[in-house]
Amino acid sequence: MKIKILTSNEDLETYRRLTEKYINVLFPLEYLKRSRVVVFRHGNGDICGGYVLVKSGPLRVLESIPDEHRAKIPIDISNVAEITGLWLDPKKADSIFCSVALWLTLYFGLLFSSFDGFVYAYTLKKSNLKKIYATFHPISLFEGLTKQLEGMPLPEEEAVEFVSKRQTIIAPFRHYKFLTRRITIVCRSMYLKGKRKYRRLVTSP
């Protein structure tokens, strides 16, 4: 598995089409061109997952908040980035290893960025995402029916949240058991995979 930052129009077009397949949103190409698009590739070049860090506005997740609620946002959003386009195909990847690698890559990408905080949105249909993001102690900006933006087939029931840089830094230490458990799973998975390869080598004619 290799990590790559996409920059060419051709690569970004491929990624936005794949993203539409997995999260049902076709991001405008212009939006991706002013963003940091990070993907995971197999050795054969196939993309098996990735995420987008949008570094300059306007930010879609903030634009999606209905006007009457957006005017009441209780925090300073003058120096924030947007996290979006996050997906991983378990059929194309070693889902345990790649999942942890994806989250760690995203974490360090945010850690070494110059932003004071980050905004993101997720569908309310996926309660497991709410549990994962809760480890960062986010501030809720909106929860409910968002606006239909370009590339969305329909309006969506979503949660829009903000997490500060400080909370991003300390989250792994506050929830060290959460992180340790997942690293242990990855190590065990890698050990078992190596063991199976070794057995095939010693038993092959």
pLDDT tens, position by position, for the chain (205 residues)?
688 999 999 999 999 999 999 999 999 999 999 999 999 887 677 888 899 999 988 999 999 999 999 888 888 888 999 999 998 887 765 656 677 777 788 888 888 899 999 999 999 988 778 887 888 889 999 999 999 999 999 999 999 999 999 888 887 666 555 555 555 555 555 555 555 654 655 555 5
Same domain, 133 and 185: no
Same domain, 189 and 93: no
CATH code, 130: 3.40.630.30
Same domain, 168 and 199: no
Same domain, 104 and 142: yes
How many Å apart are CA 99 and CA 129, to the nearest integer? 13
Residues 6+ positions from 94 with CB-CB distance below 8 Å:
1, 189, 193
Same domain, 188 and 107: no
pLDDT at 82: 96
Same domain, 153 and 192: no
- Least Cα distance to 106 among 132, 141, 125 occurs for 132
Same domain, 75 and 155: yes
pLDDT at 186: 52
- Least Cα distance to 123 among 157, 169, 149 occurs for 157
Whether residue 103 contacts residue 148, with contact meaning beta carbons closer than 8 Å, is answered with no
Report field, pTM of the whole predicted structure over 0.85: no
Q: What is the DSSP letter of 137?
A: -
How many Å apart are CA 106 and CA 198, to the nearest integer? 32
Same domain, 147 and 81: yes
Alpha helix (H) residue ranges in 34-164: 60-63, 67-70, 95-111, 127-134
Domain that holds residue 181: 175-205
Same domain, 127 and 51: yes
- Least Cα distance to 149 among 69, 60, 73 occurs for 60
For the CA atoms of the chain, what is the radius of gyration? 18
Same domain, 7 and 87: yes
Same domain, 46 and 132: yes
Same domain, 34 and 66: yes
Q: What is the DSSP letter of 149?
A: -
- The total of structural domains in the chain comes to 2
- Least Cα distance to 36 among 14, 55, 13 occurs for 55
Alpha-carbon torsion, ordered 96, 97, 101, 102, to 10 deg: -40
- Least Cα distance to 38 among 25, 55, 24 occurs for 55
- Least Cα distance to 159 among 183, 139, 176, 178 occurs for 139
> ∠199-90-52 over CA atoms, to 5°?
130
- Least Cα distance to 83 among 170, 18, 165 occurs for 165
